[in-house]
A and B are shown apart, each in its own frame.
Chain A
Amino acid sequence: MKTRFYTLFALLIVGAMLLSACTMPAAAPTGGGAAPAASGQTIELLYMTHNHAQSIPVNEAIIAEFEAAHPNVKITFDNAPHSNFEQKVLTAFAGGTGPDVFWMGDWMIPQLVKNGIVAPVDPTAFGVQTQEEFADLFEPGSLDAFTVDGKIYTGGVSEYNTFSLIYDKDDFAEAGIEPLSKETPITWEELADIAAKLTKKDGDKVVRIGLEWPFQTPIWTVLIQEPMLRQLGGELINPETGMPDFTQEPMVKVMEYVQGLRNAGAIDPALDQNLLDDLANDRVSILIAGPWAAKPLNDINPDLNWDTAPLPQFANAVDRVTTLYAWAWFVSGKSSPEKQKAAWEFVNLLTSKQQEWWDKVGYVQARKADINGMTLPEYYAQADARLATIFADYPYGKFEFRSPQYFELSDIWTRAQDRVLQGEDVMTVLQEAQAQAEQAVSQ
């Protein structure tokens, strides 16, 4: 009886697997319907963004404008919660219902380009003929992360960011610390001292911490630690071998520095709740954040007396380096040619609304603009003079390391940071991280 049952079961498994083999989708990620629409019929586009509350009305308004100007195009707008956005897009592509136009971060580029998920830009939709002319429409360097083998794979950056220091001037005054220079970056060592001084305790309870950033989110670990690493001359992916190197000398120094921050009481990973709300409500004194912080901070607490300073540099830095990261508009390479054409025209409209993106959403744009005679940087500066300091950090910015294993490596990096913050020996932690990284890359 039992053997009969198990044989039946085994047969079923084999049979079903054969069946699966025949119907395996072989990842035919078609953009929301690859069937080419006959000309004159409605072209349906699926537009996916993550959920940034203020951006939704702006997106919807632009969609309405585009549909009015192109009656044969219908755009479905899907915004998914930010924390599950990548998963949603990936599942959609894997399941054959991928979007035609979508937001995505620059760190996904290696995977997206490798698999033909994103299409090279069609300059004609932007009113120019060549890729060079298209690149000229944007701030120099802003499209670097999206250029692979000479081809540009995006229609424009939706938010273009670097990180600088944002701090509470009242806290500084209270602690007797001079406001930071807006021209010369302080050193990381000085930052550690200042942040430690700003930490306020009530018995054993830390009531305000000096410095904070999201410690558990892998992308933040990279955005914070990589400039430090590069300032010391290091690079996560060794340019010669192409392999990650967690045990390089600069990395050891960076991890030791971060451990030092913890030991001095300048940071406290368990305390942080909500980056912007914490600063606005005096739970933290200094943030490492981008230009996107300006608007929300003013909304949360108009009385907050905040100011900006350049990203710190190591005293013995080899080079002045800051960070760069961007979200951008992509068009799916899996969609039909008609859809791609319409999609590029839509992106053209999206990227030409620089003023809305800043005024209503707080997103810095990279497409050059002329707003009442001002260039974009000038426009941003007159919106809030403090932003000029942040913009001064852009030219020194470098995008994050490129790797198809970006997520795994950034996760390993974060776990190493975790352990270092717990007080473990830096070298041991980095050696184990290196072993994991090598395993990850070789698979």
Chain B
Amino acid sequence: MNDAIAAATRRNQVKSERPSIFGKSLAARKMRFGLLFAAPAFIFFGLFYVYPLFRTFYVSLFSWSLLDEPRFIGVTNYVNLSNDKEFINSIGVSFYYAIGVCVAIWVIALALALMFNQTFRFRQAYLSVYYLPAVISLTVWSLVWLFMYNPSFGLFSEFARWLGFTNVRMLDNPQTAMPAMILLSIWKGTPVYMLIYLAGLRAIPGDYYEAAKVDGASALQRLWHITLPLLRPVFLYVVVISIIGAFQAFTPMYLLTNGGPGSATRVLSMFIFQNGFQFLKMGYASAASVIFLLILLVFSIVQFRILRFQQQD
């Protein structure tokens, strides 16, 4: 307890002692260098992404069909969104999809990475095979699965039939349509995160493991006390990025079921796309984008808090 207070006090002291940027001290020199290295990013992200983002905030206060003059309507879009059952539904559907895909990826990708971190015969060849789903474009991947899910002629349905299930109609059934999307997304998404975990594992100094072995730690103990804590920054990345990526995905839903059956797979990003570019309600879509952003922001802040914003240990 006292340690925590002491650490916090030290942190505050360090913050308030931040030197002037024009100083001659090492700290000041470091500050100038950090700013220099970061400067291109300020300009780049500010110009290409943050500025358009503010424009989106702005447009959300208007009614705009892309073809006409925007008309100022204040917060009407937000009010309408709160009454829009399709919008509420799409948020729920997106959550369902995101949780389903991400939790599976967090676990499977880590397991695979741990496996590939060992040496074994044909490891390189296997790694290429396990990475395969990632190299195929998402559109084509989705269409391949469209065929695999065909109730009569699809591989998936044939396989189900071989296992004894009949009448397997994944995409036609509101209960199974989203699980079908989740499955194909896990299949496609896992390899990339496996690589990221693997890169993280590679960066853990071998000495630590050696020392632990000398101390008599078992494999499981090494995993729990060395690997996982040291993987924490990478794990934060995987968690945050996978959730955001899952919310943004809509190609599979668009191609396989067009949001159906009914609205069972109409995710939030698809709602935004449809309203903006099909229904010609760009202001409405922008308002939905703002809410989308807020949801992800809240999610990310929570994850940062849980997994610790700054590397402390």
A216 to B257, CA, bound (A): 7
Most buried by A among B64, B85, B149, B262: B262
Query: Hey, which chain A residues are within 8 Å of B67, CB to CB?
Result: 27, 29, 90, 93-94, 111-112, 114-115, 117
Report the nearest B residue to A334, measured CB to CB: B67
Query: Hey, which chain A residues are within 8 Å of B169, CB to CB?
Result: 270
Q: Tell me if B258 is interfacial: C-beta within 8 Å of chain A.
A: yes
Query: Hey, which chain A residues are within 8 Å of B68, CB to CB?
Result: 27, 114-115
A440 to B64, CA, bound (A): 14
Q: Tell me if B300 is interfacial: C-beta within 8 Å of chain A.
A: no
Q: Tell me if A443 is interfacial: C-beta within 8 Å of chain B.
A: yes
A91 to B259, CA, bound (A): 23
- Contact A443/B284 with A87-B277, A117-B67, A270-B171 known, Cβ cut-off 8 Å: yes
Q: Tell me if B150 is interfacial: C-beta within 8 Å of chain A.
A: yes
Q: Tell me if A250 is interfacial: C-beta within 8 Å of chain B.
A: no
- Contact A13/B57 with A411-B278, A418-B260, A436-B86 known, Cβ cut-off 8 Å: yes
Distance between B90 CB and nearest chain A CB, rounded to angstroms: 12
Q: Tell me if B215 is interfacial: C-beta within 8 Å of chain A.
A: no
**Contact at B278–A422, with CB atoms within 8 Å?**
no
**Contact at B58–A111, with CB atoms within 8 Å?**
no
Query: Hey, which chain B residues are within 8 Å of A270, CB to CB?
Result: 149-151, 169, 171-172
Query: Hey, which chain B residues are within 8 Å of A273, CB to CB?
Result: 147, 150
Q: Tell me if B10 is interfacial: C-beta within 8 Å of chain A.
A: no
Report the nearest A residue to B55, measured CB to CB: A20
| 0/1 string, B27-65, CB within 8 A of A gives 1 | 000000000000000000000001100110110000111
**Contact at B278–A17, with CB atoms within 8 Å?**
no
Query: Hey, which chain B residues are within 8 Å of A407, CB to CB?
Result: 278-280
- Contact A20/B284 with A111-B65, A114-B68 known, Cβ cut-off 8 Å: no
**Contact at B262–A419, with CB atoms within 8 Å?**
yes
Query: Hey, which chain A residues are within 8 Å of B167, CB to CB?
Result: 204
**Contact at B69–A26, with CB atoms within 8 Å?**
yes
A439 to B67, CA, bound (A): 21
Query: Hey, which chain A residues are within 8 Å of B282, CB to CB?
Result: 94
**Contact at A271–B151, with CB atoms within 8 Å?**
yes
A411 to B261, CA, bound (A): 12
Q: Tell me if B166 is interfacial: C-beta within 8 Å of chain A.
A: yes
Distance between B156 CB and nearest chain A CB, rounded to angstroms: 12
Query: Hey, which chain B residues are within 8 Å of A114, CB to CB?
Result: 67-68
Distance between A27 CB and nearest chain B CB, rounded to angstroms: 6
**Contact at A415–B279, with CB atoms within 8 Å?**
no
Q: Tell me if B281 is interfacial: C-beta within 8 Å of chain A.
A: yes
A87 to B258, CA, bound (A): 16
**Contact at A24–B58, with CB atoms within 8 Å?**
yes
**Contact at B152–A271, with CB atoms within 8 Å?**
yes
Interface residue from B55, B86, B152 paired with A206 (Cβ < 8 Å) = B152
**Contact at B171–A27, with CB atoms within 8 Å?**
no
Q: Tell me if B24 is interfacial: C-beta within 8 Å of chain A.
A: no
Query: Hey, which chain A residues are within 8 Å of B171, CB to CB?
Result: 270
Interface residue from B69, B278, B279 paired with A27 (Cβ < 8 Å) = B69
Distance between A273 CB and nearest chain B CB, rounded to angstroms: 7
A205 to B150, CA, bound (A): 10
**Contact at B57–A26, with CB atoms within 8 Å?**
no
> Ordered nearest first, which 9 A-B pairs have the shortest CB separation?
A270-B172, A16-B54, A115-B67, A204-B166, A216-B258, A94-B66, A408-B279, A115-B68, A20-B58
Interface residues of B, Cβ cutoff 8 Å to A: 15, 50-51, 54-55, 57-58, 63-70, 80, 83-86, 147, 149-152, 161, 166-167, 169, 171-174, 257-263, 274, 277-282, 284
A/B interface sample: 17 pairs, CB < 8 A: A20-B51, A27-B68, A86-B278, A90-B277, A94-B66, A111-B280, A117-B67, A205-B152, A270-B172, A271-B151, A407-B278, A407-B280, A411-B274, A415-B259, A419-B262, A439-B83, A443-B281
- Beyond A268-B151, A408-B279, A443-B63, list 13 extra A-B contacts (CB 8 Å): A16-B54, A27-B67, A27-B68, A27-B69, A90-B280, A94-B282, A112-B67, A205-B151, A205-B152, A411-B274, A415-B259, A418-B260, A440-B279
